[in-house]
Amino acid sequence: MEARQLLQLMIHSVYSNKDVFLRELVSNASDALDKLRLEKLRDDSLDADVADLHIEIDIDDDARTLTVRDNGIGMSYDEVGQLIGTIANSGTAKFLQELREAKDAARAEGLIGQFGVGFYSGFMVADEVTLVTRRAGEALGTRWTSRGEDTYTLEPVPDAPQGTSVTLHLKPADPENQLHDYTSPWKIREIIKRYSDFITWPIRMVPERSGAADESGENDEAPAPETLNSMKALWARSRDEVSDDEYHELYKHIGHDWRDPLETIRLQAEGTFEYQALLFLPAHAPHDLFTRDFKRGVQLYVRRVFIMDDCEALLPPYLRFVKGVVDAADLSLNVSREILQQDRHIEMMRRRLTKKVLSTVKDMMTKDQDRYATFWREFGPVLKEGLVTDAENRDAVLALASFASTHHDSVPTTLQQYVERMKDGQDDIYYLTGESRQSIENSPHMEAFRDRGIEVLLLTDAVDEVWADTVGEYEGKKLRSVAKGQIRLDTEDDDTADGEREKQTEEYAGLLGWMTEQLDEDIKEVRLSSRLTVSPACVVSDAGDLTPALENMYRAMGQ
Ligand code: ADP
Ligand code: MG
């Protein structure tokens, strides 16, 4: 498949509506303005003009072009190559290969999500795209041109203005295929209103200089530009004034996602420390959620002014997938990350926001099982980290958790449900960790439990090695790994069982001693066991021993 086909495939599987190309370009322009404002705030000597930061849309009917321009941070020559010129690079070839091998649609969608096609969505409506940009503080600009094929051109431009302009050479309108006439000011107004109204920078459209006015020969004055967006912060408006669609568009902008969020969470805190929060639970876990450089955190605003992206002080690491905006009334505009980490009010905010997110999931669990199931499938493995790291909310997280179990092939169980099903005389909650459900079910440790019809939780996430030990028990029932320590299953008849075991141990003492000696290097002890019914022997850890995965995890958490 060539790059052009790939591009079409990606774009069409991501966007059902071609109008959204404009949303993507405006979203990038808005990010670029945010970045410039911040950089200038940090470094006053930066040679950039921040007096009138804005986005401008220019239509040229005759040339059939549409230009989105911003006077933001811009890109260096190298950045254009890396960030924009990627369609023809080797990463794309690899991506293409993976996409072809992806068996199911969900996997393909995940891959496309990783790739990020925001900028390239312009090729849905244009057959050629030209980008001219200059990085703030640099003298030389760059021009990039591509027809969406394997190649692009990249050249230095001596006199580029500050920021970035993206010019689309529009395809002929084709309304039957949702390809509208994007030289129509009316259409542009409609799209901006619909998808980008909340953008905090003015989006201006320069009305066309009409040829007719030239008759007088005095039409040198440019017509006044029209601002298309209201710039109203959605989080500052009352709930019934804002539609779900509007919230979703904001999520797509700040979450760099093209899909709707799973849940929108609003919180208004009044009183001495006033703030508003608008948080989103995404519907899909990003691919890099468990990597070291995952950008976590929400956006921080102070009285409608954007202060920082990825503000990690506002939510604990195990809620790092939550996106959104927090707007605090009483913070300093040049507050730093270091200060935020230590601020008492921020600490209070974090606790409140954490509880709010957890209670929202709890609501989902009781009111909308399907949504909860989606949420837990995507984010359960992260949320469970909270069982280890957040003692204060441990019970709340535990109440939200569900686990695969031998009770059902595909429906997970909560601990509550497990406890309700426990057999008479069963005191403990049993679990086994492993690579996959199948490998756990095939483990010899499972035999006795299967025979006796005792339910076992089947835990396959890395974090499962850790939390069960930390949590220890649920409603007075111990959490016990079926692979660790002595497990006594025939509880009704303890005394006889003990007597019997003693007799047998005596009888087999010679054999057990010999085996212990032979295996001395690898094991601590050989004992008789009632846990096996088919396999002759199995290896068991001591109740207190760390598994290798567990050791790694503790190290990663700095303990
Ligand atoms: P995303 O916005 O999710 O990062 P895009 O494909 O929309 O993905 O954009 C890719 C990258 O190109 C952006 O992350 C940004 O670094 C850069 N970029 C795009 N448009 C602009 C712009 N107008 N100004 C500065 N940088 C831009
Ligand atoms: Mg983008």
Quote ipTM for the complex: 0.99
Question: Among all chains, which residue has been given the structure tokens 């010899």?
Answer: 444
Residue nearest to atom 17 of ligand 1 (CA): 83
Read off the pLDDT band of 335 (50, 70, 90). Answer: confident
Whether the per-residue pLDDT at 497 is higher than 50: the answer is: yes
pLDDT for res 559: 44
Structure tokens at 497: 């069982």
Tell me what pLDDT residue 303 has.
86
Least Cα distance to 22 among 114, 121, 95, 155 occurs for: 121
Ligand located closest to 257 CA: 1
Distance in Å, CA 73 to ligand 1 centroid = 11
* Higher-scoring residue by pLDDT: 287, 234: 234
Least confident of 89-93, 196-200, 258-262: 89-93
Q: Is 72 in the pocket of ligand 1 (CB under 6 A)?
A: yes
Best-predicted range by mean pLDDT (338-352, 360-374, 450-464): 360-374
pLDDT single digits (tens) 390-413? 999 999 999 999 999 999 999 999
**pLDDT at site 116:** 58
Residue nearest ligand 1's atom 19 by CA = 28
State how far the alpha carbon of 497 is from the alpha carbons of 28, 450, 480, 482, 509, in Å.
71, 20, 21, 19, 18
Q: Which two tokens stand for residue 438?
A: 């199948």
d(CA 304, CA 237) in angstroms, rounded, equals: 12
Cβ of 164 below 6 Å from ligand 1 = yes
Ligand 2 mean position, distance from CA 29 (Å): 8
Residue in the structure block whose two tokens are 């991501």: 14
33, 55 contact by CB (below 8 A): yes
Residue 119 Cβ inside 6 Å of ligand 1? The answer reads yes
Segment 44-57 shows an average pLDDT of 95
The better pLDDT of the pair 83, 236 is held by 236
CA-nearest residue for atom 11, ligand 1, is 83
Residue having the nearest C-alpha atom to atom 18 of ligand 1 = 28
Q: What is the pLDDT of residue 332?
A: 80
116 lines ligand 1 (CB under 6 A): yes
Give pLDDT, residue 530.
Answer: 65
Any atom of ligand 1 within 6 Å of the Cβ of 255: no
Mean predicted confidence (pLDDT) in 435-464: 91
The pLDDT of 119-135, averaged and rounded, is: 92
Whether 435 has a pLDDT exceeding 70, the answer reads: yes
In short, whether 386's Cβ falls inside 6 Å of ligand 1 is: no
- CB atoms < 10 A from the CB of 298, how many? 25
- Model pLDDT for residues 176-230, shown as the tens digit of each residue: 888 899 999 999 999 999 999 989 999 999 876 555 444 555 556 677 889 999 9
Q: Which of 31, 115, 131, 195 to mutate to test the pocket of ligand 1 (most atoms within 8 A of CB)?
A: 31
Task: Kindly provide the b/e burial profile for residues 41-58, where b requires at least 16 CB atoms within 10 angstroms of the residue's own CB.
Answer: eeeeeeebebeebbbbbb
Say what percent of the chain tops pLDDT 90. 53
Q: Report the binding-site residues.
A: 24, 28, 70, 75, 90-91, 114-119, 164, 337
The mean pLDDT of the chain is 85
Cα gap 183→173, rounded to integer Å: 9
DSSP 8-state secondary structure symbol assigned to residue 328 = E
Is ligand 1 within 6 A of the CB of residue 73? yes
Mean pLDDT of 373-389: 95
Q: Residue 492: its pLDDT value, please?
A: 45
